[in-house]
Amino acid sequence: MKQVPHWEQLTAEQKKMEIRRMEIYSAMIENIDHHIGRVLEYLASTGRDKDTIVVFFSDNGANGFEMDSYPHTDKAWMEHNSDSRFSNWGKRGSRIA
C-alpha cells in the first residue's frame, strides 16, 4: 500500500497542490450543505417536514487512483477531454482524481 507522506515532507509545489485540493473539497461540501438546506427549508415551509424522512447517502469519496488508470481513459483521452491544468482545478472539465 502506498504511504501518504507527512506534510513536512512535501515540497512547496506539492503543498500548493494539496491546499488547492482541500479548497475544492471544502467548496463541494459547502455546496452540498447549501442544497440540502434548501430541501429542508422547503419541507419546513410547506409543513411537510413533520412527515418526511430525509436520508443522505455518501460513499468515502474518490479512491485515489489517477484518472488515466481506468479503462478507456489513457493519457491521450485525458488530454483530449479534460483541462486539468492547475489553474483550471475545480472548474468545468478539470479532473484531478
Cα 41–chain centre separation: 25
Q: Is residue 5 part of a domain?
A: no
Confidence check: pLDDT of 32 > 70: yes
- For the segment 43-92, what is each residue's pLDDT rounded down to a tens digit? 999 999 999 999 988 876 666 677 777 888 888 888 899 898 999 999 99
Residue 62 confidence (pLDDT): 67
Q: Is residue 96 part of a domain?
A: no
C-alpha cell at 89: 482545478
DSSP-assigned letters across all residues of 21-36: HHHHHHHHHHHHHHHH
Residue 70 confidence (pLDDT): 83
Q: Is residue 94 part of a domain?
A: no
Report yes or no: 71 and 2 within 8 Å, Cβ to Cβ: no
Domain count, the chain: 1
Structural domain of residue 46, as residue ranges?
Answer: 11-56+65-88
Q: Is residue 2 part of a domain?
A: no
Residue 23 confidence (pLDDT): 94
Confidence check: pLDDT of 1 > 70: no
Mean pLDDT for the stretch of residues 31-37: 95
